[in-house]
Amino acid sequence: MSMAFPPEWGRLGREGTVVEFKTDEGVWVGNFRPGFGGLQFAGPHPNGINVVVIAGGDLWIVDIHKRTAVRALPALEAILEVHNPEGWIFSRQGIALARLGPTGLMWHTRRLSWDGFDQLHIVHDELRGLAWSPLDDKWCPFIVELSTGKSTGGSYFPNDAEGWESLTS
C-alpha cells in the first residue's frame, strides 16, 4: 500500500505521482497529489537527507525516514540546477522564481513577469532572463542575484504587491 500525500487526498483511491523509497528500515511507496502543471521530478534534496518530489508541478519535500512530506511550492513549470550552494531554481508559472538549497527554500522573488520567461541562464552569481510584457508586446530583461534573490528589471510592476518576495540577507 502506498502512503498518500496529503493523507486526505488518497482516501478515495486516487493515483498521482508514485515514488518508491528505500531506507534501512525497508521500502515504502508515496503517492503524491499532482498540481496543475506537468513538471515531474524526483531526486535527492540538496541537504543530503531528504528527497525532493515534483508531482504535476507541486514541490514536495519528503523525509523518507519519518515517511512524511510537506508541499513546499505550487505551480512549478521549469527547473534549473545551481551550485554553491547546491540546489535548484524553480520557475513558478513563468512569473516568479524560487531557490531551494541545503537549508530549504532560500528565497522567492517578487512577480517578475506578466506571462512567461525566456532565455534563463546563469552568468557568474546572477540569473538572467527575459520576462514577457503583453502591455508592451515585448520581452523585458531581468537579473536575480543567486545568493539573495534580489531582482531588478522584468516586465511586472517593480513593487511586490502579492507579497511573494522573500530574500536571503
How many Cα atoms sit within 13 Å of 6 on the Cβ side?
7
pLDDT value of position 101: 97
Rounded-to-5 percentages of helix, strand, coil across the chain: 5, 55, 45
Domain boundaries, the chain: 1-74, 75-169
Write the CB contacts of 140 (distance below 8 Å, at least 6 apart in sequence).
Answer: 130, 131, 132, 133, 153, 154, 155
Burial 106-145 (b: 16+ CB within 10 A, else e): bbbbbbbbbebbeebebeeebbebbbbbeeeeebbebebb
Reduced to 3 states (helix: H, G, I; strand: E, B; else coil), residue 13 is coil
- 4-22 pLDDT, tens digit per residue, is 999 998 777 788 999 999 9
Rounded to two decimals, what is the model's pTM?
0.93
Residue corresponding to grid cell 512530506: 69
pLDDT above 90 as % of the chain: 90
Q: What is the pLDDT of residue 37?
A: 81
pLDDT average, residue stretch 67-92: 96
Q: If we measure between CA atoms, which residue out of 1, 26, 166 comes closest to residue 18?
A: 1
The span from the CA of 28 to the CA of 21, in Å, is 5
* pLDDT tens-place string over residues 92-134: 999 999 999 999 999 999 999 999 999 999 999 999 999 999 9
Q: Mapping DSSP to helix (H, G, I), strand (E, B) and coil, where does residue 7 land?
A: helix
